[in-house]
Amino acid sequence: METNASTASTMSLASVTIEVADVEAARRFYAAFGVDQHIRLRESEADSTGFRGFTLALTVSGPATVDAFLDAAVDAGATVLKPAAKSLWGYGGVVQAPDGTICKVATSAKKDSGPATREIDEVVLLLGVEDVKASKQYYVGRGLTVARSFGGKYAEFAADEASPVKLALYKRRGLAKDLGVPTDGTGSHRVVLGSTAGAFTDPDGFAWEAATRLGTVSPRESAAS
């Protein structure tokens, strides 16, 4: 494993905006799911089919909390893609929100040390990319700092106080397999990332825009709370 978190990042992921057809319905879902403080929502009818190439991953304290978040998602209209189960790495499951966004909830713990809570330890935006090494170097060139890297399989970037969500890269085919969906997909990713270093589009088509404060969003965009 390669680690490099000693240098301060000159760019950060300051916001994550999910594009949805019905903002109010999506707002109700993400509030019920417990991530309304971490994301924004924006109305969009952009064409998108199949796997959109990303997932919103929640890390929590134990299996009971995983189950509680997944149950809340299903009660709010989500579809189960992979039921919660033990794995080599811990315990987790995958659901798809009514707007199509895929969400994973997991823990490294295989046994509970206490009752279920509504606390989220970490939220990660995991982008599925064709070439992890090339995308990692692209983002390093943009000013992000690598926190952890596993060769050409996975890369995670350091976050700071301006980053409500951590950014990570995973090979697209491997991510789709992990989520339990076919890898094929076309059209919009239906996610826009807020950058502290201006607007650009990465080699895999993920769009970044200049970050704005939550209090300055446009009428067609809202915080999920």
For residue 42, count other CB atoms closer than 10 A to its CB.
18
Q: How confident is the model at residue 222 (pLDDT cuts 50, 70, 90)?
A: low
> Which pLDDT belongs to residue 4?
45
Please name which of 183, 182, 180 lies closest in space to residue 81, comparing C-alpha atoms: 180
Higher pLDDT, 213 or 49: 49
On the question of pLDDT at 8 being above 50, the answer is no
> Which pLDDT belongs to residue 215?
45
Percent of the chain at pLDDT exceeding 90: 82
Reduced 3-state DSSP string for the chain: CECCCCCCCCCCEEEEEEEECCHHHHHHHHHHHCCCCCCEEEECCCCEEECCCEEEEEECCCHHHHHHHHHHHHHCCCEEEEEEEEECCEEEEEEECCCCCEEEEEECCCCCCCCCCCCCCEEEEEEEECCHHHHHHHHHHHCCCEEEEECCCEEEECCCCCCCCEEEEEEHHHHHHHHCCCCCEEECCCEEEEECCCCEECCCCCEEEECCCHHHCCCCEEECC
> Which pLDDT belongs to residue 198?
86
On the question of pLDDT at 216 being above 60, the answer is no
> Which pLDDT belongs to residue 75?
97
Q: How confident is the model at residue 223 (pLDDT cuts 50, 70, 90)?
A: low
How many CA atoms, within 13 angstroms, populate the side-chain half-sphere of residue 208?
21
pLDDT by residue (tens digit) across 23-37?
A: 999 999 999 999 999
pLDDT by residue (tens digit) across 130-180?
A: 999 999 999 999 999 999 999 899 999 998 877 889 999 999 999 999 999
Query: What is the torsional sign of CA 138, 144, 155, 122?
Result: negative
Q: In angstroms, what CA-CA distances link 30 with 9, 75, 224? A: 29, 12, 6
> Which pLDDT belongs to residue 163?
82
> Which pLDDT belongs to residue 27?
98
- The radius of gyration computed from the CA coordinates of the chain, to the nearest angstrom, equals 17
- When the pLDDT of each residue in the chain is averaged and rounded to a whole number, the result is 91
Letter for the amino acid at 200? F
